[in-house]
Structures are given as C-alpha cells and as structure tokens.
Structure 1
Amino acid sequence: MRPLRYAINVTIDGCCHHEAGVAPDAESMRFWVTEVGRADALLFGRVTYEMMQSAWRRPGTGVWPDWMKEWEIPFAETIDTAKKYVVSSALDGVDWNAELLRGDLADAVRRLKEGSGEGLFVGGVTLPLALADLGLIDEYVFIVQPVLAGHGPTLLAGLRDRIALELVDRHEFRSGAMAVRYRPVLVAG
C-alpha cells in the first residue's frame, strides 16, 4: 500500500498561506524536489491545482520564464511532469498530466493508496483537512518557517479529532526553517 504524505510550509503560529513564510531558497527547493519526487502522484484540490499550475507548468514555448531562478527549475520540472489527481466538483476537466478524482473521497483515495509504488503527495489546506479527518494521511511533513504571520489560513483548522503524532525525522535549514516529519500514532482504545 502506498503511503499518503501531506507536506506544506507553515509559520510558527500555524499559518499556511504560501506567501506568509520565508521566501524559498535553493536549499528549501532541493528539499521540495526530493519530497515531491518521492511520490508516484500528487493529489490536489482545485485551488492548489490551479495555483501550482499557474506557477510551475512548463510554458508552451518549452522555455521556463525569465523570473524563474536556475535553482527553481528542478522543482518546476519535477512538479510539471508528475502525475496529478484533482479533487473538484467545480471543474469539468483538467490537463497538465492530471485527472479528476470523482465520487466518494475516502473510497477514491483508498483505491489510489492500494496501488504499488513510493507513495502519494497531498498539498494545500482544505483537501488535507478532509483526508486527515478520514484518517487517510500516513505522514505529515512540515517546513516550519521562523515567522509569526499573525493571520491567514492555519494548518488543519477545524480538525474533527486530535491526531497524536510521533517525530520520525527533522532537518534544520540555514534559513532557520525546520523540516519535521511525523507519523500518526495508533492509539489503542
């Protein structure tokens, strides 16, 4: 069974808006290249899919835009070519190596997890909350940014039940950010 990993940048006070933390640098982008590269497929809700597509889809010319730094290109290439599943009732269709995931969310994600491979990656805010509530996330990966945002969407706000986690890995970046990897602890009850 493939594990489902939720990974996101988050500020110390829990904000997970993509512009609230420290701007990406070469070191953090290498981390994300590895993290996304460990997945057989990416799972996005509509908002995250559209945001990622607008930033990281290879232009029709085949040439990455001038604003993109050389150290961002490996991430762009990794996410551009990755298989994607999009959970949305608002979209009629998707492209960018993606397909819509329809029907019951729990059943659809369980079917994806039953496949063989390295794992699945989910990003964003709303979809991961639903997946956490369903008990479908096998690993949580957060890059905790050394910033207090004071506002914005917060990590897993509205989670139905408490989820106990155990730390399985951590890595400190030169920027002061810290990548932490947790797995849910099965609580006998």
Structure 2
Amino acid sequence: MRPLRYAINVTLDGCCHHEAGLPPDEESMRWWTDELGRADALLFGRVTYGMMESAWRRPATGTWPDWMGEWEVPFAETIDLARKHVVSSTLDEVDWNAELVRGDLGDAVRRLKQEPGEGLFVGGVTLPRALADLGLVDEYVLLVQPVVAGHGPTLLAGLRERVRLELVDRQELRSGAVVQRYRPVPAM
C-alpha cells in the first residue's frame, strides 16, 4: 500500500494560509520539489487544485512567466507534470493531468492507496482534515515557518478526534524554517 503524505507550510502558531508564512526561497523550493517528487500522484480538493493550477500550470506558450525565478522552475515542472486527483462534488471536469474523484471519499482514497507506487501527496486544508478524520493520512509533513501570523485558518482545525503522532524526522533550513515529519501512533 502506498502511503498518503500530507505536507503543508504552517506558521509557528499553526496558521496554514498560503500567504501567512515566509515567501519561498531557493532552499525551500528545492525541498518542496523533492517532496512532490516522492509522490506518484497528488490529491487536491477543488480550491487547492484551482490555486495550484493558476500558479504552476505551464502556459500554452510553453514558456514560464517572467515572475518565476529560475530556481522556481524545477518545482513548476514537477507539479505541472504530476498526475493529479481532484476531490470535488461541484466540478464537472478537470484537466492538467487530473481526474475527478467521485463517490465516498474514504473508499476512493483507499483505492488510490492500493495502487502500486511510492506514495500519494495531499495538500490544502479542508481535504486533509477529512482524510485525517478517516485515519487515512500516513505521514504529516510540516514546513514550520518562523512567523507568528496571529490570525487565519489553522492546521487541521475541527478534527473530530485527537491524532497522536511520533516525530520521525526533523530538518532545519537556513531560513529558520523547520521541516517536521510525523507518523500517526497506532491506537492501543
């Protein structure tokens, strides 16, 4: 069974709004590129899919936009080419190497996890909370930014049950951000 990894940027006070942390730098973009590269497919909800597509889909011209630095191109290429699954009850169709996930969320994700491969990556806020509630997240990867946001959506707010985790890896970046990798502790 391939693992489902939830990875997200988060501030020290738990805010997970994409604009609340530090702007990405070369080191963090390299880390995110590697993290996405560990997955056979990406799993997004409708909002995260739309946000990622608007920022990281290769333009029809084939040329990346001027705002993108050379150091951002490997990430853009990785996410652009990745296979994607989009959970949505409101979209009728998707493209950008994507297919819609319909029906019971738990059953659909269990089927995806049964496919051969190295892993699935899930990002965003709402979908990962639902997957955590279903006990389907195998690894939580937090890129903790050295920022206190003081407001905004917080990580996994509204979980029905507490999820006990064990730290399995920790890495400090030059920016002061810290990557923390956790796995759920099996219930006794």
Place the TM-score, normalised by the shorter chain, in its bin.
over 0.9
Work out whether 1:63 is the aligned partner of 2:63.
Answer: yes
Paired AA for residue 144 in structure 1? V
Query: 1:124-139 to 2 correspondence within 5 Å?
Result: 124-139=124-139
CA deviation after TM superposition for structure 1 residue 187, in Å: 2.0
Task: Find the counterpart in structure 1 of residue 151 from structure 2.
Answer: 151
CA deviation after TM superposition for structure 1 residue 21, in Å: 0.2
Query: C-alpha distance in 1, partners of 2:187/2:64?
Result: 47
Query: C-alpha distance in 2, partners of 1:34/1:18?
Result: 19
Task: Find the counterpart in structure 1 of residue 45 from structure 2.
Answer: 45
1:92-125 Cα offsets, whole Å, 9 max, x none, are 0000000000000000000000011000000000
Query: C-alpha distance in 1, partners of 2:115/2:162?
Result: 28
Task: Find the counterpart in structure 1 of residue 97 from structure 2.
Answer: 97
Query: TM (normalized to structure 1)?
Result: 0.99
Gaps of 5+ in 1: none
CA deviation after TM superposition for structure 1 residue 86, in Å: 0.2
Work out whether 1:107 is the aligned partner of 2:107.
Answer: yes
Aligned alpha-carbon RMSD (Å): 0.4
Query: C-alpha distance in 2, partners of 1:145/1:5?
Result: 19
CA deviation after TM superposition for structure 1 residue 13, in Å: 0.4
Work out whether 1:166 is the aligned partner of 2:180.
Answer: no
Query: C-alpha distance in 2, partners of 1:89/1:152?
Result: 25
Secondary structure in 2 matching 1:108: helix
Work out whether 1:84 is the aligned partner of 2:67.
Answer: no
Q: How many residues are matched? A: 188
Percent of pairs identical after alignment? 79
| Runs of 4+ more than 4 Å apart | none
Task: Find the counterpart in structure 2 of residue 54 from structure 1.
Answer: 54
CA deviation after TM superposition for structure 1 residue 71, in Å: 0.4
